[in-house]
Structure 1
Amino acid sequence: MGPIGIFDSGYGGLTVFREIARTLPQYDYIYLGDNARVPYGTRSFETVYQYTKECTEELFRLGCRLVILACNTASAKALRTIQQIDLPQYSELRKVLGVIRPTTERIGDFTQSKAVGILATAGTVHSNSYVIECQKFFPDIRVYQQACPMWVPLVENNELNNPGARYFVQKSIDALLQQNPAIDLFVLACTHYPLLQDTIRDLAPPAINILTQGELVAESLKDYLVRHPEVEPLCSKNGTQQFYSTETPDNFNSKAALFFGKPVHAEQLPLPFCAISPDH
């Protein structure tokens, strides 16, 4: 038995972790943010895969048997390869899940016009993961994407309420709606973006629904543990939470509370990691 691992390239995954811990408080958790190498959104598929694999292996080394990639870019660029190529090499059961499927399998519940807008990092947009996954569940839904390169820096620098933030949010909303004015659902497909939700709501047309991922991922994980009795007993239940960052703890702690909703006290896991071998 071991904790459930939550991984993100930085802070954004804390918005997902917050909802997971609220929905499933009985489990133990380890959060790992790769802040030393953020951002992932502009990096190549190969680099994101390598970084994500290293961090996933580090969570395995810390005792996790189930890891959630609470990062859209990592889910888009690395999850499939890790699931299909890397995990079968381990002699013991290990599972890695992402945040895109739990989101796309519910999109149809929130749109009437069948026109959906994805607001995401450039890496997630270029992967087309949301388009591909949404079509699997809802072939009749049209998916439009807009990269928002300035949104993550605005959030991480806590510039949420200044005129510059409103300018860049409005610019991305306008660009998305120009693709199809019938869009009636915005999916915030980056775990940083919920912190901009009030601004997005203020600037978007009133009829548009705004979908964040935290609650969807938490409910999906709860359902997954019920449906997979071979995995659930491997997750320890003492209600503990540990936080690690590849950046210095003071740096991480100063910003993490903004995302997690309460103070966070992290330890540093300096790079490079000493990866475990698959036969452990």
Structure 2
Amino acid sequence: MGPIGIFDSGYGGLTVFREIMRKLPQYDYVYLGDNARVPYGTRSFDTVYAYTKECVEKLFAMDCHLVVLACNTASAKALRTIQQRDLPKQAELRKVLGVIRPTTEVIGHYTETRHVGILATPGTVKSMSYPIEIRKFYPDISVFQQACPLWVPLVENGELDTPGTAYFVEREVNRLLQQSPRIDTVVLACTHYPLLYPLIRQFLPEHIGLLSQGELVAASLADYLERHPEVQKLCTTGGSTRFYTTDNAAGFEERAGIFYGQPIQAGEVTALLT
């Protein structure tokens, strides 16, 4: 038995982890951020797969039987390969989940016009993961995507409410809406974007719904554990949390609190590929 592992390329997954903790506070958790190799969004599929696989195996070594990829890029570029190629080789029961499916399998409940917008990193947009996954559940929904290449660096540099950030948020929102006047639901398909929620909301018409992934992923995880008691019984319930980064722990702690909503203490994991 062991904790539930939460993985992200950096800080963004903490917005998802925060909601998971609110929904399921009874479990033990280990969070690992690969800050030394961020960003993932601009890297190739093979590179993202290699980095993600290595971090997942690190969490397995920490006795995590269940790992959640709280990262859209890792979920888009690495999850399927890990599930199909690597997990069958594990001697023990191991499961890896992502953040895309929990969003796409419920999106149909939120849209009436069946026109949905996706705001994401260039890597997630290029992967076409959201259109592909949404089509599996809701073939009648039309999906429109807009890449927002500057939003993550702006968030990570604390530029949340500056005129420059407002300019780039308004620009990408308008580019998305120009693709279809019938969009009535927009998904924030990057875990950094909830920190820009008030600004994004400001530039969206009132009738358009805006969804963050954290609550959807937390609800999906709770449902998964209920449906899979063989996994649930392997997850310890002490209510503890541990945080690790592949970069400098002090630097990670300084920014992580912004995403997690409260101060944290972190350790360093350095035995990873460069």
TM-score bin, normalised by smaller chain: over 0.9
Question: C-alpha distance in 2, partners of 1:39/1:257?
Answer: 19
* CA distance in structure 2 between the aligned counterparts of 1:150 and 1:204, rounded to whole angstroms: 19
Q: Deviations over 1:120-178 (max 9, x none)?
A: 00110000000000001111000000000000011101100000110000110111111
Matches of 2:272 and 2:47 in 1, distance apart? Answer: 14
- Distance in structure 1 (CA, Å) of the matches to 2:148 and 2:72: 13
Q: Runs in 1 of length 4+ with deviation above 2 angstroms? A: none
Name the SS for the 1:230 alignment partner.
Answer: helix
What's the C-alpha RMSD, in Å, of the aligned pairs?
A: 1.0
Alignment map for 1:85-96 (pairs within 5 Å): 85-96=85-96
Q: Which residue of 1 aligns with 2:226?
A: 226
Q: Distance in 2 between matches of 1:19 and 1:89?
A: 31
Match of 1:65 in 2: 65
How far apart are 1:89 and its partner, in Å?
0.2
- Summarize deviations over 1:220-274 as a string: whole Å, max 9, x none: 000000100110000001000000000101110000000000001100101426x
Matches within 5 A, 1:141-156: 141-156=141-156
Matched with 2:139 is 139
Q: Report what 1:161 is aligned to.
A: 161
- Secondary structure of 2:20's match? helix
> Aligned with 1:231: secondary structure?
helix
- Is 1:77 the counterpart of 2:99? The answer is no
Partner of 1:27: 27
- What is the letter of the counterpart of residue 264 of structure 1? I
Structure-1 separation of matches of 2:181 and 2:10: 33
Q: CA deviation at 1:112?
A: 1.1
Residue 105 of structure 2 aligns with which residue? 105
TM-score (norm 1): 0.97
Partner of 2:264: 264
1:217 paired residue number: 217
Aligned AA (2:206): P
- Residue by residue over 1:76-109, the C-alpha shift from the partner in whole angstroms, topping out at 9 and shown as x without a partner, is 0000000000000011100000000000011111
Shift in Å, 1:28? 0.2
The one-letter code matched in structure 1 to 2:102 is: P
Give the equivalent residue in structure 2 for 1:278: none
Q: Secondary structure at the match of 1:46?
A: helix
The residue type equivalent to 2:207 in the other structure is: A
The reply to whether residue 197 of structure 1 matches residue 197 of structure 2 is yes
What code does the residue aligned with 1:249 have? A
Equivalent-residue separation in structure 2 for 1:258 and 1:132 (angstroms): 32
CA distance in 2, matches of 1:174, 1:223: 36
Quote the Cα distance in structure 2 between the aligned partners of 1:229 and 1:219: 16
Letter in 1 for 2:23: T
Residue in 1 that maps onto 2:39: 39
2:251 aligned partner: 251
Q: Which residue of 2 aligns with 1:2?
A: 2
Q: Which amino acid aligns with 1:200?
A: I
**Structure 2 unaligned blocks of 5 or more:** none
Structure 1 unaligned runs (5+)?
A: 274-280
Q: Give the alignment's TM-score, normalised by structure 2.
A: 0.99
